[in-house]
Amino acid sequence: MAIFTGAGVAIVTPFFDNGKVNYEEFGRQIEFQIEGGTDAIIVCGTTGEASTLTHEEHLDVIRYCIQTVKGRIPVVAGTGSNCTETAIYLSKEAEAAGADGLLIVTPYYNKATQKGLYEHFKLVAEAVKIPILLYNIPGRTGGVNILPETVVRLCTEVENIVGVKDATGNISQVAKLMALADGRVDLYSGNDDQILPLLSLGGIGVISVLSNIAPRQTHDLCAKFFEGDVEGSRQIQLKAIELIDTLFCEVNPIPVKKAMNLMGLKAGPLRRPLTEMEEENAVRLEKAMKDFGIL
C-alpha cells in the first residue's frame, strides 16, 4: 500500500531572523497545508534546508511535525545522508518518532556506483520497518543517478523500499523505469512542471515545492487526474507553469521562501550559504503569483 497518493508538500523550515527554527510559524504552515487539502507532508527535505540543520535540529523538526499533524495525513521524513551510518541513525530516530515513511536521497559527493547505491539503500531499509522512498535528484548529488534497473531491483528485493521521488527531469528515463516496474514502484514526481506527465506514466503523486504556496491547486491537479478529468488537470498544470518557473529561477528554496513571505506565511530567512532572492527575480515572482491568483 502506498504511503500516500496525490500531492505531498516538500515543506519549508521557517527560521527567525537569528537563524533559530520558528516552531510556532511551522505549526501554522502545517495547518495551512492540511486545510488546503495537502495529502502528505514531507519534512526535512531539500526545501526544508535539511542540509544546514544540525542532527538535533533535524530530528526536532521531524518530531514537531509528527506531533502537530497528529495522524491527520502521512508524514514522510527526509533522513538521507552521504554517510550510510548517519542515514541509518536519522532513519531509526524518525521511525521512533512516528514517521509514516522516509525519503532517502541519493548519497551526494561520494559518487557511489550502482552497486554502492543498492547497498546504501538496502542497509538503511534493513535498519527500520517503515516504508522508504528513494530520492533521485542528480542535479543535487554530483550527477549520480539511480538507474531504472537499480530502482526496480531495490523495490523488488527490499520489502520496505516502495517507490521513488524522481527529480531527474528525464521523461524518457521515467518511461523506462515504469516499463520495467510492472507495478512494483510507487512513482512520485519531484518536479512541479512535470506532475501531469509523470501521472500519465503511472505516477501516484508529487512531492511538491509549489504546494507550499498553492496547496489546493496542487492537490486538485492530482485529484482531477485520478478522477478521470485529465483536461482539468492539464489546465491547472499549464496555468501554473510560469509560477513554477519563477519558483526555480534561483536555487530552491530561495524563491519559495520569498513567495511565502510575500503571502504573510513568515518562512523567514535562509541559512547560509543560501542568500535572499535577487530583486529582479523577486519582481517576476510577485507578478507570477498575482497572475496565478494567490497574491
Which residues are annotated as catalytic?
A: 135, 165
> Which residue in the block uniquely carries the three cell numbers 523500499?
161
* CA atoms of 96 and 139, how far apart (whole Å): 31
* CA atoms of 217 and 72, how far apart (whole Å): 20
Bridge partners of 8, per DSSP, are: 40, 207
- Residue 145 backbone class (left: φ over 0; alpha: ψ -120 to 50; beta: rest): beta
Is the CB of residue 252 less than 8 Å from the CB of residue 167?
no
* CA atoms of 210 and 233, how far apart (whole Å): 15
- Would you mind telling me the total number of residues written for the chain in this entry? 295
Cell of 186: 510507487
* CA atoms of 244 and 247, how far apart (whole Å): 5
Residue type at 85? Answer: E
